[in-house]
Amino acid sequence: MQLKNARILVTGGSLGIGRATAQVLAEAGARVAVTGRHEQRLHAAAREIDAVPIVADAASPRDVDRTFDQVRERLGGLDCLVNNAGIGTFCDMQDVTVEQFEKIFSVNVYGAALMGARAATMFKAQKSRGHIINVGSTAGLKGFPGGTI
């Protein structure tokens, strides 16, 4: 994929791997939008990266719809989605609550699926190819103390 002028959405782009990914893509000449749930942190990261900030929770269907509306308006379309948004709760197994598990599953699984579905819909509407990159954690392959969820 040619990165120069590519329109790329990076979810969870205000911290960590998502922020670093957005930075590298922007430096390569891509037009980048980043999502995050924390407005101040997201806007600060977006300014430093020269990206479009979109305050959104990947687990919220309404936020996902709004995200793609803003991508269409502000980037003029989409060439690539980097599904990076993810959360975790770290505690002993006997302390895990159903609410914690549901929230994490909503962001890490449903959120990625919702974002991917909307990206695919946009690619089809544009009559263009598109790319979806799903970022995962090594915690999904190997457990560790306190990494119950």
Q: Is residue 24 part of a domain?
A: yes
Q: Is residue 118 part of a domain?
A: yes
Q: Is residue 145 part of a domain?
A: no
Quote the Cα angle for 4-9-40, to 5°.
115
CA proximity to 147, closest of 44, 16, 138, 1: 138
Quote the Cα angle for 70-109-56, to 5°.
25
How many distinct structural domains can be found in the chain?
A: 1
Instruction: State the sign of the Cα–Cα–Cα–Cα dihedral 88, 90, 93, 99.
Output: negative
Q: Is residue 148 part of a domain?
A: no
The per-residue pLDDT for range 89-147, each reduced to its tens digit, is: 888 888 889 999 999 999 999 999 999 999 999 999 999 999 999 998 887 788 888 87
Task: Supply the CATH number for residue 82's domain.
Answer: 3.40.50.720
Q: Is residue 142 part of a domain?
A: no
Query: What domain range includes position 12?
Result: 7-136
The amino acid at residue 113 is A
Report the C-alpha dihedral over residues 64, 84, 22, 120, rounded to 10 degrees.
-50
The per-residue pLDDT for range 24-49, each reduced to its tens digit, is: 999 999 999 999 999 999 999 999 99
Q: Is residue 125 part of a domain?
A: yes
